[in-house]
Amino acid sequence: MKKLLTLCLMAFTTSALADYIFVVPQKPGGGTSQWAQIVATQLEPFLGENITIKHIPGARDIPGFNKFHNSLRTSNKIIMVSNGGNGVSFLQEKVDYDYRDYDSIGLMNLNIIAAKRIGENMDYPKFSAGSGKVPEAWAMALLICGPGLTMNEYLACFKEHVTWVNGMSNSERRLAFKRGELNGTRENPAAYKKHVETDENAEIWFHHGILQADGSHADDPNHPGFQLEILFEERWDVEPSGEFYDAYKLVKSFRDGMQKALWVNKGNPNTFLLRNALHQMSLDPDAIAAIEKKVGKYEWKIGDEGNAQVDTLMSFITPKALINLIHFNKEALGLASVYKEKLIE
Amino acid sequence: MILALLLGTLYGLIIGLIPAAGATTGLIILFGLMSYFSDPYLGVIFCMAVVAASTTGDTYSGILLGIPGANSAAATMVDGHPLAQQGKATYALTAAITTSTVNGLLWGTLTFALLPWYTKLMMIFGIPEMWAFVMLALVCVGFVSNKFWIRSLIAIGIGLFLGMIGTNPVTNADRWTFGWEYLGAGIQIMPMVAGLFAFPEILDGLKKRDATTTKHNTSGQTLDGIKAVWKYKWDAIRGGAIGAFIGFLPGLGGAMGDWMAYGSTVAANPKEEFGKGNIRGVIGSEGANNSQKATSMIPTVLFGIPGASFAAVLLALFMTLGFELGTPDLAYDMRFFDSLTFGFMWATVLVGIICITFNRYISMISYVRYRYYFPALVVFITWACAQYTGGWEDYAILILCSVLGVFCKEYKYSRPALLMAFILAAKVEALTIQMTTLYTIETLMTRPIFIILIITIIALATLSIKKNKLEYA
């Protein structure tokens, strides 16, 4: 009983004395929530102050980020934790938040890996749908249909070849893949290790590569030779290019290039302090090991590097790429995507 | 180790006693405390004890107050609460707890001892079979729980509509949210349970200005309850097996297992009257309670795929403790498996003993006038429902669901059917889309389990329409 009381007291005092707040747009237990919890725990000693997690859940993780944008960001102690899904929603949904209004404290540039069932004909993939899988849909269309097609030809080719299965949760998708009802799937690096590498009937199909400062994508050293661009060239004897490829680059970069990120309002006086603490944390092998255990071994972009990454991402947004993205998403994937003119401004 | 077990058991029992709360709520609250476990294995024991104890504890409010402790305990109260009204609360509680404990131990042993053997078995059940199971659950609760089957169908329709508010799985856009961003993630389960069951019962209790029962006769009820489990052991075993099977199928479980177990008890005893205090109804549904919690751990541990909503939270909690379920490394961590087994099994035993020992005292609440304890009840229920965002929206939804609950109770539209349809709405829609995308009639006809399930659904619906006399709403 004494221990219980102590635990309760500690929980209460931790909450009462909290100095910084991580706003997480999910319920406790979600992937970003877990990441935020781990980072907060590792960051606290370097920051010298407590961090508490405030969950603001809602559909597609949007309401929490909107709330940060509309009311919370003016507080100097509030830090937004976002994920790759927020990046995709930023491109194609009516959201209030806008990355151009924030300073990056740090972000993790991850890679998403697609897997297939061994021995399957991947010219006819059966793949779980959802807005989080939009980059995979574009990658599949490129890889299967080849170079030089018009937008409508890509659309027709995708519909002919890909069985796009709606309504699957992550767990249902994983199980359906294990059972062979789906022949393709995709995972983040940590989940890939857990769900694909342990499955004797599964192997890597392709990955999207890692976004570089100059806007190119490099091969993932964890899975060399399977970057989409490399596989495309091997199959079709030319590098991928053109309008369709530009739109693919746009959507994959906004998802994977900001898979996990920390933001504060522009001009927040604590920005330097937070960046410095995160930098110190990134030099600590134990702290980094704890984070890598969750997300895999990928680099942090801290402070100005994070802001530069946002600038790079924004440079991918061209009217044509955005129009093509929305058109394909609506016609081929059935998504209610909207064209946002203000992104071009 | 013992302290972690005791604390987890006590905490789980308290959470289980709070109407509309349950294992999922109890586990969500623990996130802030996980970092205080110096040994992560103690955290595992604590969490498993919470799961086992809260599952057993949630029977109380169902039987004593007519309010399900969690959505999974709704079936128990159909016959359990009338027994409490007849002054047989201790009898009903003891039978329920004994059944729940025995099945928890039996299926817990089978689950944890044979864990690695289940992988291949799980691969047999694909999307069509899952779809058919969901339909079977709807038929069970819709047609078995209420003889007014047309009203049940309407209730199912309302439940499906409410459950589909949120995000359209195809377009990924908000659906039927009336521009209210809060509804984008759908109506949460806790206010729906509380609104449908808790507040109508509280209002009813206040209107009657009386206690649940005035019949003071508790002598011998504890022993009678245990004897009843032995007498109706096949109902208990059947319920346990159904619950275990549903728990084993990822993403189902919870309310579905209990209602299917209850439905099978009613179907297996066509000459008996249910819904007015038949102990077999209590034993049948409670059989599924702990067994499904035990077997939900199979997909959760083996694949890192949560078997039920509580298991999804558990998965995340274990992650914060440093255990990533579904990874091969963990398969060799015998201390982890020992901690899982120790926490679940001993908490099941412990809470069983505590409950059976104190049942006659706890059940005295049914002799207390409602007005003395309803404020505390309202506070606890409201607290549980405000765990989502804590904003005014949580309270607004609770009020709306309560109005719906009062209406359904008054006009005998099956609340269990509405709740079940609400819970399963997303599954119904998603599995229907998946099945029609990936299968054709020809390929479905090659799946024997699917065909058997469809035949069972048709037979059960037909029989229930013809013979059901239950009036619970």
The rounded distance, in Å, linking the Cα atoms of B350 and B104 is 12
pLDDT tens per residue, range A99-110: 999 999 999 888
Element of type H or E holding A114: strand A113-117
Q: Are residues A29 and A165 in the same domain?
A: no
pLDDT 10s digits, B10-61: 888 887 777 656 677 777 777 667 767 778 888 889 998 988 888 777 788 7
Q: Give this complex's ipTM.
A: 0.82
Per-residue model confidence as pLDDT tens digits over A108-147:
888 899 999 999 999 999 999 977 899 999 999 999 999 9
Chain A residues with CB inside 8 Å of B322's CB?
293
Sign of the Cα pseudo-torsion (A92, A97, A102, A107, in order): negative
What part of B 34-63 touches A (C-beta under 8 Å)? 35-36
The tally of CA atoms less than 13 A away on the side-chain side of residue B96 is 39
CATH of the domain at A62: 3.40.190.150
Q: Kindly state the average pLDDT of the residues B168-194.
A: 87
Mean pLDDT check: name the lowest of A103-107, A161-165, A213-217, B162-166: A213-217
The answer to whether B45 touches B258, Cβ cutoff 8 Å, is no
Query: Edge-to-edge strands of the sheet including A113-117?
Result: A184-187, A113-117, A202-207
Q: Which of A57, A93, A293 sits opposite B389 (nearest CB)?
A: A57
The one-letter amino acid at A138: W
Q: Is B446 on the interface with A (CB under 8 A)?
A: no
CB neighbour burial string for A90-122, b if at least 16 within 10 angstroms, e if fewer: bbbbebebebeebbbbbbbbbbbbbbbbeebeb
Strands A113-117 and A184-187: antiparallel
Paired tokens of A245: 């490829």
Alpha-carbon distance of A338 to B451, in angstroms, equals 43
Which uninterrupted H or E stretch holds A20? strand A20-24
Nearest-Cα distance to chain B for A61, in Å, is 9
B451 three-state secondary structure: helix
Answer whether A28 sits within 8 Å of B31, measured CB to CB: yes
Q: How confident is residue B413, by pLDDT bands cut at 50, 70 and 90?
A: confident
Task: Evaluate whether B287 touches B239 at the Cβ level (below 8 Å).
Answer: yes
Q: B290 with B7: CB under 8 angstroms?
A: no
Give pLDDT, residue A33.
87
Q: Are residues A267 and A283 in the same domain?
A: yes
Q: For B360-403, write each residue's pLDDT tens digit.
A: 777 776 666 767 777 877 887 788 778 777 788 889 999 999 99
Cβ within 8 Å, pair B316-A28: yes
Interchain contact, A10 vs B36, CB within 8 Å: yes
Chain A contact for B418, CB < 8 A?
A: no
What is the structure's pLDDT at B416?
A: 77
B131 contacts B451 by C-beta, under 8 angstroms: no
Q: Is B185 on the interface with A (CB under 8 A)?
A: yes
Residue reference for tokens 């131990």: B105
Count CA atoms closer than 13 A to B358's CA, side-chain side.
Answer: 11
Q: Which amino acid is at B455?
A: I
* Pairing, β A300-302 against β A78-83: unpaired
Q: What is the DSSP string of B174-225?
A: EES-TT-GGGGG---HHHHHIIIIIHHHHHHHHHHTS-S------TTHHHHH
CB B82 within 8 A of CB B216: no
Q: What is the pLDDT of residue A48?
A: 92
Give B138-159 as a DSSP string: HHIIIIIS-S-HHHHHHHHHHH
pLDDT above 70 covers what percent of chain B? 85
CA distance A130 to B205: 47
Flag whether residue B449 sits within 8 Å of chain A, measured between CB atoms: no
Residue A123 burial by CB count (10 A; 0-12/13-18/19+): exposed, middle or buried? exposed
Specify whether A327 is located in the same domain as A276: no
Residue B455 CB-density burial (10 A; 0-12 exposed, 13-18 middle, 19+ buried): exposed
Residue B176's pLDDT band, with cuts at 50, 70 and 90, is very high
Q: Does A121 touch chain B (CB under 8 A)?
A: no
* H/E run at residue A152: helix A151-161
Question: What DSSP character marks residue A215?
Answer: S
CB B199 within 8 A of CB B380: no
pLDDT digits (tens, 9 = 90+) for B196-249: 877 887 787 777 656 566 665 666 888 888 999 999 989 999 999 988 888 877
Indicate yes or no: CB of B389 within 8 angstroms of CB of A10. no
Strands A78-83 and B166-167: unpaired
pLDDT confidence tier of residue A151, bands split at 50, 70 and 90:
very high
* Closest in A3, A66, A172 to B3, CB measured: A3
Is the Cβ–Cβ distance between B63 and B16 less than 8 Å? no
Q: Do A243 and A333 have their domain in common? A: yes
- What's the CATH code of the domain at A230? 3.40.190
How far is the CA of B306 from the CAs of B300, B309, B427, in angstroms? 4, 7, 15
Q: Could you please report the per-residue DSSP string of A254-266?
A: HHHTTSEEEEEET
Question: Taking 70 as the threshold, does the pLDDT of residue B308 lie above it?
Answer: no
Contact A59/B7, CB-based, under 8 Å? no
Q: What is the pLDDT of residue B251?
A: 61
Which residues in A lie closer than 8 A to residue B320 (C-beta atoms)?
34, 37-38
Instruction: Quote the longest CA-to-CA distance of chain A.
Output: 71
Query: What's residue B326's pLDDT?
Result: 66
Q: Are residues A305 and A323 in the same domain?
A: no
Distance of alpha carbon A254 from alpha carbon A270, whole angstroms: 26
A59 within 8 A of B166, measured Cβ to Cβ: yes
Mean predicted lDDT score pLDDT of chain A: 90
> Which amino acid makes up residue A193?
K
* Residue closest to B322 by CA, chosen among B308, B310, B335: B335
Do A77 and A125 belong together in one domain? no
pLDDT score at A270: 95
Query: For residue A300, what is the enclosing H or E element?
Result: strand A300-302
**B445: helix, strand or coil:** coil
Residues A202 and A136 in one domain: yes
Q: Look at strands A163-165 and A126-128 and give their pairing.
A: parallel
Cβ count within 10 A of residue B411: 11
Distances in whole angstroms, Cα of residue B78 to Cα of each of B65, B73, B148, B197: 11, 10, 15, 12
Q: Which amino acid is at B41?
A: Y
Which residue would you say has higher pLDDT here, A345 or B423? Answer: B423
Phi and psi torsions of B115, nearest 5°: -45, -50
How high is the pLDDT of residue B75?
A: 79
Q: Which helix (H) or strand (E) holds B425?
A: helix B415-438
The token duo for B138 is 């709807």
Tell me which amino acid residue A93 is.
E
Q: And the tokens for B248? A: 């084993």
**Claim to verify: residue A243 and residue A339 sit in the same structural domain:** yes
- The yes-or-no verdict on residue B472 having pLDDT over 70 is no
Question: A36 and A97, same structural domain?
Answer: yes
Pair A201, A329 in one domain: yes
Domain that holds residue A83: 2-109+259-314
> What is the DSSP code (8-state) at residue B389?
S
Nearest to A344, CA basis, from A312, A316, A324? A316
Largest CA distance in chain B: 62
My answer on whether A209 and A267 are in the same domain is no
The number of CA neighbours under 13 Å toward the Cβ of B422 is 23
Q: Would you call A126 an interface residue with chain B, using a CB distance cutoff of 8 Å?
A: yes
Q: Which pair of tokens denotes residue B37?
A: 């476990």
Residue in chain B closest to A174 (alpha carbons) equals: B305
pLDDT score for B134 = 83
Which strands make up the sheet holding A78-83, listed edge to edge? Answer: A51-55, A20-24, A78-83, A260-265, A102-108, A300-302
Q: Are residues A335 and A289 in the same domain?
A: no
Please check the confidence at residue A36 and state whether its pLDDT lies above 50. Answer: yes
Number of domains forming the structure of chain A: 2
Spatial separation of the C-alpha atoms in residues A207 and A224, rounded to whole Å = 9
More confident residue, B302 or B327: B302
